[in-house]
Chain A
């Protein structure tokens, strides 16, 4: 295989990791790492990067490998590397295994709790979500969301060397937010999912119930954040900004429920996306602030 061809294969493999989604997952992972008091140790930061790329990216690529039959049916996904034939099945699975191996080894080199979070993510995403639930129930995203919340738990475990309640709460914030985000994507691409026969919450439960679930999902984010603050004694600025975003989101959901349309769903996706990003950006900053205030008081 020529060098340029190899590079092209690697590029296609990276496309299968869904870089945008991967970036958000990495964001929550690093965010949780710094919230947990993680240092700027280059080795740990690099290992975390490899864990995220290999595990979160690898599992997404594996998901795409298993679902290439569905991807062929849906216009939106038919141009992906596997259904389009740009990458062969053999090349894909070899590359994906390598990615997952790198992720698992990097996680193990950090500590056993990061490894555990990685494995939980792998099992929930591939077995529970992709292979068992996705094609049979509209509630499948509840399993997929467990996997999506694991980078945050892993980041926390990397910093603290353990899995403790604050880490679980951080993962919980990602967990409750994800169904909201994914369900609106399902609504936006409803025709595609319908053509492939994939049951979705908007399709199976109707717009009214879907909107109620969205409200529940949005409200849970500041609620869990509040519990986090009770335990960790910082994060009030993050909470206030999150509540403002949540109120705006609730308004958007109300508009959507009055006049459900693809455009309204797209608006909602745009609005809901930054919610978790904001939490995992502001909380680390508040943590640093809290630590420096404590240091000042000491000296």
Chain B
């Protein structure tokens, strides 16, 4: 594998192959709801590896967002216009993050976690998913957003995102596929944008880590039917994750003195 200073180029065949595998796997799940859950796991591993090798998220992300996002939009939302709005909002969040120095990293996690909620509503209204599936899907989005943010902070191994993959297996295929794809892409793209412009806030890997663990416990409780506890812990986990990327800088006056 051609390696240049520890990195690969997007045009390198192995990288293209790896990225392509992940992309195809995702597309397959999105289009065919009967494909087994193991494909979700495969796609996640493939994408994680691709990202790990490439060290450059932009190419993969821009391609996948366009293709899978569009496919997801057409396949699962009852109202394509509302779904489109969700995607536009995500892009706006990325644009704002890249255009304004000083915008906080919390925007990355927050937008990547909240947009699936917005997009889910038309699907719910259309009767395609049941509310439990939507809630679980959204919870997985949050977990993945946190994990990706943690890995981008350099404090957590990028492959750690795959530990969430088994959780996806409890979801209905549509929810599993779309939440996996959407959360993964949104988190990476927004976090990448923030990495490009810099950020006044710093990241606390401890908070991110424990936030993720708490969120995972929440999802597991949801799966066992303990809804109130599940949602509570999931929200607490999200809070810790958000707090972990919003560690404020010292006030200016304090630094001056």
A: residues with CB less than 8 A from B are 62, 66, 69-70, 73, 89-90, 93-94, 97, 100-101, 104-105, 107-109, 111-112, 115, 118-119, 122-123, 126-127, 130-132, 134-136, 194-199
Residue B257, interface by CB 8 Å: yes
Give complex CA distance A176, B210 in Å: 34
Q: Check A119/B235 contact, CB under 8 A, given A97-B240, A108-B229, A109-B229.
A: yes
B257 and A195 contacting across the interface, CB-CB below 8 Å? yes
Residue among A97, A130, A136 with most chain B CB within 10 A: A97
What are the nearest 7 A-B pairs in CB distance?
A197-B254, A197-B251, A197-B253, A97-B210, A93-B206, A108-B229, A131-B246
Rounded to whole Å, the gap between the CB of B206 and the closest CB of chain A is: 4
Give complex CA distance A4, B151 in Å: 36
Rounded to whole Å, the gap between the CB of A116 and the closest CB of chain B is: 9
Residue B94, interface by CB 8 Å: no
A197 and B236 contacting across the interface, CB-CB below 8 Å? no
Q: In chain B between 226 and 243, which residues have their CB closer than 8 angstroms to a CB of chain A?
A: 228-229, 231-233, 235-236, 239-240, 242-243
Q: How would residues 178 to 201 of chain B score, 1 for a CB under 8 Å from any chain A CB and 0 otherwise?
A: 000000000000000000000001
Residues of A within 8 A of B103 (CB): none
| Interface SS majority for chain A | helix
B210 and A93 contacting across the interface, CB-CB below 8 Å? yes
Interface size on B, residues (CB 8 A): 32
B228 and A131 contacting across the interface, CB-CB below 8 Å? no
B239 and A122 contacting across the interface, CB-CB below 8 Å? yes
Residue B252, interface by CB 8 Å: yes
A104 and B246 contacting across the interface, CB-CB below 8 Å? no
Chain B, Cβ-Cβ closest to A97: B210
Give complex CA distance A198, B255 in Å: 11
Of the candidates A89, A108, A135, the one whose C-beta lies within 8 Å of that of B251 is: A135
A101 and B239 contacting across the interface, CB-CB below 8 Å? no
Cβ contacts A to B, 9 pairs, < 8 Å: A104-B232, A107-B232, A108-B228, A122-B239, A126-B239, A131-B246, A134-B248, A198-B254, A199-B251
B233 and A101 contacting across the interface, CB-CB below 8 Å? yes
Residue B247, interface by CB 8 Å: yes
B: residues with CB less than 8 A from A are 106, 201, 204, 206-207, 210, 213-214, 217, 228-229, 231-233, 235-236, 239-240, 242-243, 246-257
Rounded to whole Å, the gap between the CB of A128 and the closest CB of chain B is: 10
Rounded to whole Å, the gap between the CB of A59 and the closest CB of chain B is: 10
A112 and B228 contacting across the interface, CB-CB below 8 Å? yes
A135 and B248 contacting across the interface, CB-CB below 8 Å? yes
A105 and B239 contacting across the interface, CB-CB below 8 Å? no
Rounded to whole Å, the gap between the CB of B61 and the closest CB of chain A is: 27
Residues of B within 8 A of A101 (CB): 214, 217, 233, 236
B254 and A195 contacting across the interface, CB-CB below 8 Å? yes
Of the candidates A66, A100, A131, the one whose C-beta lies within 8 Å of that of B236 is: A100
Residues of B within 8 A of A196 (CB): 250-251, 254
Give complex CA distance A196, B257 in Å: 9
Give complex CA distance A189, B155 in Å: 37
A197 and B257 contacting across the interface, CB-CB below 8 Å? yes
Rounded to whole Å, the gap between the CB of A154 and the closest CB of chain B is: 12
Q: Check A126/B243 contact, CB under 8 A, given A93-B206, A197-B257.
A: yes
Give complex CA distance A119, B240 in Å: 11
Contacts A66-B204, A197-B250, A197-B251 aside, 18 further interface pairs with beta carbons under 8 A come to A89-B206, A94-B206, A97-B240, A100-B214, A100-B236, A104-B229, A104-B232, A118-B232, A119-B232, A126-B239, A131-B246, A134-B248, A135-B250, A135-B251, A194-B253, A195-B257, A197-B252, A197-B255
